[in-house]
Structure 1
Amino acid sequence: MPLHQPDVLIMGGGVIGLTTALCLADKGLSISLLDRQSTGQEASWAGAGMLPPGNLQNATTPEARLRSYSHSLWAGFSQRLLEQTGIDNGYRVCGAVNVFNKDEGNLLMAQSQAWTDEGVRFHLLTSNEAIQYVPDLNPAFESTVYLPDFAQVRNPRHLQALRAACLQKGVEIIEHVSEVNLVAADNRILQARLPNRILSFATLCVTAGSWSTSILQSLGVEIPVRPIRGQIVQLQLNKLPFNCVIEHGRQYLVPRQDGLILVGSTQEDVGFEKKNTAEGIAQLLEFAVSLVPTLRHAEVVRCWSGLRPASPDELPTLGAVPGLSNVFVGAGHFRSGLQMSPGTAAILADVICGSETVVSMEGLAADRF
């Protein structure tokens, strides 16, 4: 069989894998990327593309550091992809309204304090101010907060741009790989044997989302990442009733400029069962109408689901894999894979190349469990 010798083999072609491949290619490394199907078809595609703000200067927790670092990169990265590929990923700063009902006063106080401590801009809105952003907002939500720096991106377009950029930089993308045999010697993984070729590499990076667990298990390494299903409904109105993202807890409405509105999402521990259910869709539609009653007139365009890779602390596992000297991992981002992808990829590229990372890895390393 033919032998190929990339510097780095990446297993997993979602947003983390593609962005990491591009960052490593920018550093001059040769990259091969494997996926069990077409790239960008799992959780990366299924999400709503929400990009919350951050302030890296004041970020103190692992989540805040990675979110804020990624936030600082999104605008420039999107512009780079547009200039390189001609594909507009839909990045725009749209703002977000967070709503709280009368029983969530303590939650509002805690979240406001967290935003204040981090230096994230927010404005507590009066009821009259709130309806300027969401005219038909249900008045049962007595407290509202506006985040002016909240942004969004359209996941499928972003993944299309990433794939094109990778190919232009010489990344080899190998799709629909049904079988991979990883060959080890001592504490290193040396080869990946495919049905029709052999890949011999210096470094292996696993970015396969919920499937990262089984890949690493085959190498004798355990990471506690499991799939959590999230269902989304897509609605459409002739005229958008609001232009900003609306969030209530972990549920949201995300408006697109073409009149589409994403309603998400469920959070279900059902293993690798990726499907939509009547119960899940009914809950999402009920939530949407309870938040913005006008949406009862919206057309249901379609629905889908994705499998989010969740870890016990809902934070990703990044960096070197314990016990294997040339294996790295970037997985377990749960609901934040797309929003944290620029920072995650930059960190992985730095770690793989032996460079100092921009943000601390504390709380994100693979040996924390």
Structure 2
Amino acid sequence: MRVIVIGGGIVGTSAAYHLAKRGVSTTLVDASRTGQATAAGAGVVFPWPFPWDPPPMREFALQAAAHYPGLMRELAEDGQVTGYRVVGGISAGTDPGLLDRDLAVLRELRARPGYEGLGEIRRLPAGGPAELFPALADEHEGVFVEGMARVDGRRTRDALFNAAEERGLRYVKGDAELVAAGGRVTGVLAGGEELPADAVVVAAGAWSAELLRPFRVDLPVYPMRGQIVHAALPGARTRDWPVVRFPEEGKYLLALPPDRVVLSGTREPWAGFDHRATVGGVLRVLSDAVALAPALGEATVAETRVGFRPASRDDLQLLGPVRALSGAVVATGLGAVGLTYGPYQGAVAARLALGEDPGSDLSMFRPDRVAPAPGTPPKRTAPVDRPSSRR
């Protein structure tokens, strides 16, 4: 069987890896477009679902949580470097009631099957979060979760690609165009040649919709621009610092070795494919970070990244076959949680391309489902929005 994967981000390279590992003739086609979400992602990994998530998402997330560490071990044993590390995580804030509720929910979850990876969960008094993440303000209290992890999106993408290439993956750089006959995909035009295929995985992130548009398929995915800043703290040793989320503000901080801190990025659904770091966006990122972690005021701005997260119009991922085009499988729409769920989404897409059971109910995620009208992402209300995200 011949399978072509379109898209070289975390989802596409995962699909290619899982296919090549099984000996499937696999070709990865990627346009290497500026703004790939994987290259700009922060790297927070917390795949466990919460009680308020819809049932299909809970099932998918639990399977993703079980899949992640095993995949990272496989890649490490293969000599690949991913930047994956279980460093723990902290919910930090100044509202004791909110943190106590977080503690109760997490402890209740920890007692359920499938949540063993959460590890130790404990309450931190004022000043406790700053002991683990020294840049934080001393007034923050917190809840510590041992099993939370971080990952380097660029390194993981490259690790999956390299491991797949060692197993026979073919790579073609260039724009892709689906080829079909009789309502079935037959291949892909890319790099000046027509590549035949029995199945095609469309994992081109925010650009996926344009691949299906010629077949009158409206994928409910659009680009959500994210501006993210990396700061360097001279003299700091950040290798073991935990991931920090601020549930009151919907923000996060993530540390990378040897002395880098990733500042919570923007979410701009109105920006389209405008790949710019704007004054307003960077200002908001920096000011929010310093308010939460005053020591970052002395940090060096090391790098600014801009990426287009593939957001869906109804906030549900797109994963599954396309009714109007047999043999096509879509895997995208993870928005801001691509590095958390992308590796598993790619693995499931590989199964679907081979005609296998995906392992869970994906009906809610059908890529050709009815969703809000195209061109209607949230309207711009501020220079940078302030979402109340749990991650």
Amino acid at match of 1:265: G
Q: Deviations over 1:189-236 (max 9, x none)?
A: 213234532211111110000000111112221111000011111111
Indicate the larger mover: 86-95 or 106-115. 106-115
Does the C-alpha gap of structure 1 residues 21 and 248 become closer, same or farther in structure 2, counting only changes over 3 Å?
A: same
Q: Deviations over 1:114-136 (max 9, x none)?
A: 76347454333222533432345
Q: Tell me what 2:388 maps to.
A: none
Does the C-alpha gap of structure 1 residues 41 and 14 become closer, same or farther in structure 2, counting only changes over 3 Å?
A: farther
Indicate the larger mover: 165-174 or 121-130. 121-130
Q: Tell me what 1:245 maps to.
A: 243
Equivalence map 1:6-155=2 (5 Å): 7-37=2-32, 42-54=36-48, 61-84=55-78, 86-102=79-95, 105=97, 109=101, 112-113=104-105, 116-117=108-109, 119=112, 120=115, 121=118, 122-139=121-138, 141=140, 143-155=141-153
Amino acid at match of 1:321: V
In the alignment, structure 2 segments of 5+ residues that lack a partner are 371-391
Does the C-alpha gap of structure 1 residues 80 and 309 become closer, same or farther in structure 2, counting only changes over 3 Å?
A: same
Residue 341, structure 1, aligned to residue 350, structure 2: no
Report the TM-score when normalising by structure 1.
0.88
Q: Post-superposition shift, 1:58?
A: 12
In the alignment, structure 1 segments of 5+ residues that lack a partner are 1-5
Cα pair 1:56 1:65 within 8 Å, conserved: no
Amino acid at match of 2:7: G
Cα pair 1:51 1:71 within 8 Å, conserved: no
Q: Post-superposition shift, 1:111?
A: 8.1
Q: Tell me what 1:280 maps to.
A: 281
Aligned mates of 1:234, 1:181 — CA distance in 2: 35
Aligned mates of 1:111, 1:63 — CA distance in 2: 22
Cα pair 1:95 1:245 within 8 Å, conserved: yes
Q: Tell me what 1:156 maps to.
A: 154
Cα pair 1:308 1:335 within 8 Å, conserved: yes
Does the C-alpha gap of structure 1 residues 171 and 235 become closer, same or farther in structure 2, counting only changes over 3 Å?
A: same
| Secondary structure of 2:160's aligned partner | helix
Equivalence map 1:290-301=2 (5 Å): 290-301=291-302
| Secondary structure of 2:64's aligned partner | helix
Aligned mates of 1:151, 1:62 — CA distance in 2: 23
Does the C-alpha gap of structure 1 residues 367 and 183 become closer, same or farther in structure 2, counting only changes over 3 Å?
A: closer
Q: Deviations over 1:73-98 (max 9, x none)?
A: 222212211222x2321111011111
Amino acid at match of 1:233: V
| Secondary structure of 1:326's aligned partner | strand
Amino acid at match of 1:17: G
Indicate the larger mover: 185-194 or 285-294. 185-194
Q: Tell me what 2:386 maps to.
A: none
Give the length in aligned residue pairs.
Answer: 358
Cα pair 1:53 1:151 within 8 Å, conserved: no
Q: Deviations over 1:245-287 (max 9, x none)?
A: 1112432111112111111210012000111111111111111
Equivalence map 1:353-364=2 (5 Å): 353-364=354-365
Aligned mates of 2:50, 2:130 — CA distance in 1: 31
Aligned mates of 1:361, 1:220 — CA distance in 2: 22
Residue 227, structure 1, aligned to residue 228, structure 2: no
Q: Post-superposition shift, 1:341?
A: 2.0
Aligned mates of 2:366, 2:245 — CA distance in 1: 30
Q: CA RMSD in A?
A: 2.7
Does the C-alpha gap of structure 1 residues 182 and 128 become closer, same or farther in structure 2, counting only changes over 3 Å?
A: closer
| Secondary structure of 1:354's aligned partner | coil
